[in-house]
Structure 1
C-alpha cells in the first residue's frame, strides 16, 4: 500500500472517529511518525488533530480570537496571531504536554500590540509577517492593507517595519524569498520579489506582479508546496455554498509566463466547488505534497468546519471532502508531519 492510499485510509478512519468518538477505529494505521493538523478559531480555540491515533488535543491560550498559526518543531512551540490582543503570541514546550484533553501551554514570546485586523501569518526564518486588512483612510474606493514584519528574537517578536499595500490584503505565502499575497475582493494574487531583503523601511509598496485566476471570485487563502499552489475562493461572503479551491500545478512557471495584470486560465487549473464540497467561505488552507491533500478552514458552512480533500492534483468538480470536522468559527490550519 503506497503513502497516498495509507493516508486516504487513515483519513477515512479519522472521519469515522470524528462522528463516533471511538478510538478503537484507529486500527494502527500510520501516515508517518508524526501527522498533526492544527486548527484555530475566532472563538480562541487551538486544536490539534492527530491523524495517526485520532486523538484531539485542545490548548488553552490567552487569546479569544485567532487568525494565523505556525508550529516550529525546532523550538517545540507554536505561534498564533491574536485578534483580541493584536499581537503575536508564542507557546512553548508543546511536546512535553502530551496529547488529549485540554492542555495549558506556557506563554513564551510575545510581540507588541501593533495591528488592528490581522488575517494571516507567513514565516521565513526568523521573520514573521502578519497581514492586516484595516481600511486606513476610511474610503472603500481606495483599498489598502498593511504588512507587519517582525523579527523573532530570544526575548520576543520585534517589529522591524510596516508596509502599506495598494490593495486590501488577506492570505500570505512565501515561495523561497518571494512573498505572495491574496488581493482581497478580487480574483488576484500579488507577488513581491525578495520581500524581506527589499522592503526594509516603513513605506507604501508596489507589487512586482499581480495575476488573476480565471474562475476565481474572491481570493483568501493560499499555500504552496513543492511546485503546487492552492488558492481558496470564498465567493460571496454571505453565501455558505459558493466557495471553491483552485489547484495550480507547476505554479511558478505559469505565474512567470502570465503577463503582469493578466490571468492564468481555467484550463491551467483544477477547481473543487459545488454543494457536495461543503465549501462556503474557505478562509485558510494548507497543502501537503507528500500526501497530496488539502486541509481547509471553512468559516461559514454549518458555522465552521475543518475539511480535507485527498488526491488534490488529480480531482476536480463537485466532490465531497474526505474529512469533515465541526469547529465553530474556524479561521486557520497548519499541518506538521515528519
Structure 2
C-alpha cells in the first residue's frame, strides 16, 4: 500500500447517506501497467494535500498531509514521491516529499520551492521539467478587458525558476497538455483555446493570441479540463451559473477529441451531439472546478467546490451520460484541484 494508516472509507455507507468522511496533462501518466491508482487533491480551505487510493473503486482509502499553505489550487504528482501544488497563500509553486512511510496527518515541509510571483494561481500543467501555472488575476486592472497569465517555470536542482510569462487576452483557469500543445479553458465562457507548440513558441515574456478558439455547446461556464493522450479523450467541466454552487454543474466527455476539435473552424462550435454530458441533482455537482480521468477504467474524478461545502466525486459507467449518482463521494471543503497518477 502506498500510504500507511490510511482512513478506510465505506462506500456503501457513503452512497446511502450521501456523504463520506475522510482530484494537467495526461492524468494517467501513460502507466497502464501500474498496480495502484491515486487521486491527489488540493483545496482552498486549509491548503492540505489529500491522497485517495482509488485502485479498488469498491474500497477507497484516503490520507491527508498538512502544509503551511492556507489555500492551494493546481496539483501534480510525479509518481516518484513528490507532489506539487500551487499555493494561493504564498502565490508560488511548492513541492513536497510524500513517502510511503508517512502517516496520515503528518505535516510536510516544502522540498522544492519557487518564487512567490503570482497573484491568483489556479491549474498546473507539466511537460518535462517545465511547469505551467494559470493565473486568473486581472492583469491590466480593467474588468472590461478580460486577460490572464500563464507562468512558465523550469524545475532544476531542487527549485523553480521563472522562465517567462505569457499574457492571454482571456481569463484563464484550467490548462492541460497534449504533447507540446496546450489547451486552456476560456474562463467565464463555454470556450476552449489551443496554443500550438506552446513551450517552444513562447520563450519570452509576451502577450499571445491563442492559435484557435472554439465554443463547446451545452456548457455554460467551463473551469476544469483534462486530456488523455492514449484514449484521445477530453473531459471538461461546466460550473453552470456562478451564483448556483449546488446543483447546476456537470462535465462533458469528448471522445475522438482530436479529429472533432480539428473539424471545427476557428470561432465555431463543437455540437453537443458529439459529446456526452453528465449533470443533474444526483451528481452532486454545482461547481465542479477540476477533473481527472482514468482511461483504464474510464472513471472520472471531480473536484466539486460548492455542493455541500466541497467534495471529491468519482463517476463510472458514464457512456450514456445523464443524471448519474457518483460511486465515490468524499467531503473536502473548498476542493479546488485533482490529479490522477498510476504507480
Indicate whether the TM-score tops 0.5: yes
SS in 2 for 1:95: coil
State which of 283, 287, 292 in structure 2 corresponds to 1:286.
Answer: 292
State which of 285, 303, 310 in structure 1 corresponds to 2:309.
Answer: 303
Q: Report the counterpart of residue 30 of structure 2 in structure 1.
A: none
Q: Report the counterpart of residue 73 of structure 2 in structure 1.
A: 67
Cα pair 1:299 1:305 within 8 Å, conserved: yes
Query: 1:132 and 1:113 mapped to 2: Cα distance?
Result: 12
Q: Report the counterpart of residue 156 of structure 2 in structure 1.
A: 153
Q: Report the counterpart of residue 77 of structure 1 in structure 2.
A: 82
SS in 2 for 1:253: helix
SS in 2 for 1:254: helix
Q: Deviations over 1:43-75 (max 9, x none)?
A: 21211122346432111112110001010123x
Cα pair 1:17 1:54 within 8 Å, conserved: no
Cα pair 1:187 1:217 within 8 Å, conserved: yes
1:247 aligns with 2:253: yes
State which of 326, 332, 340 in structure 2 corresponds to 1:335.
Answer: 340
CA shift at 1:317, angstroms? 1.0
Q: Deviations over 1:170-213 (max 9, x none)?
A: 10000111000000011000000000000000010010000111
Query: 2:291 and 2:84 mapped to 1: Cα distance?
Result: 17
* Residue segments in structure 2 that go unaligned for 5+ positions in a row: 1-8, 23-32
Cα pair 1:14 1:323 within 8 Å, conserved: no
CA shift at 1:15, angstroms? 2.0
Query: 2:311 and 2:121 mapped to 1: Cα distance?
Result: 21
CA shift at 1:273, angstroms? 0.9
1:128 aligns with 2:124: no
1:316 aligns with 2:312: no
CA shift at 1:334, angstroms? 1.2
* Residue segments in structure 1 that go unaligned for 5+ positions in a row: 1-12, 23-30
SS in 1 for 2:105: strand
Cα pair 1:187 1:219 within 8 Å, conserved: yes
Query: 1:178 and 1:54 mapped to 2: Cα distance?
Result: 34
Q: Deviations over 1:17-68 (max 9, x none)?
A: 656879xxxxxxxx96212121111021211122346432111112110001
SS in 1 for 2:116: coil
Query: 1:214 and 1:185 mapped to 2: Cα distance?
Result: 14
Alignment of 1:106-185 (within 5 A): 106-185=109-188
Q: TM-score, normalised by structure 2?
A: 0.88
Query: 1:174 and 1:14 mapped to 2: Cα distance?
Result: 35
CA shift at 1:139, angstroms? 1.7
Q: Report the counterpart of residue 10 of structure 1 in structure 2.
A: none
SS in 2 for 1:101: coil
SS in 2 for 1:181: strand
Cα pair 2:79 2:342 within 8 Å, conserved: no
What is the root-mean-square deviation of aligned Cα atoms in Å? 1.8
Change (3 A) 1:14 1:129: farther
Q: Report the counterpart of residue 35 of structure 1 in structure 2.
A: 37
Query: 2:50 and 2:158 mapped to 1: Cα distance?
Result: 26
Alignment of 1:229-248 (within 5 A): 229-239=234-244, 240-248=246-254
Cα pair 1:97 1:105 within 8 Å, conserved: no
State which of 299, 304, 325 in structure 1 corresponds to 2:330.
Answer: 325
Q: Report the counterpart of residue 15 of structure 1 in structure 2.
A: 11
User: What is the number of residues matched between the two proteins?
Assistant: 314
Which of structures 1 and 2 has the larger relative contact order (alpha carbons within 8 angstroms, sep 6+)?
Answer: 2
SS in 2 for 1:200: coil
Cα pair 1:90 1:110 within 8 Å, conserved: yes
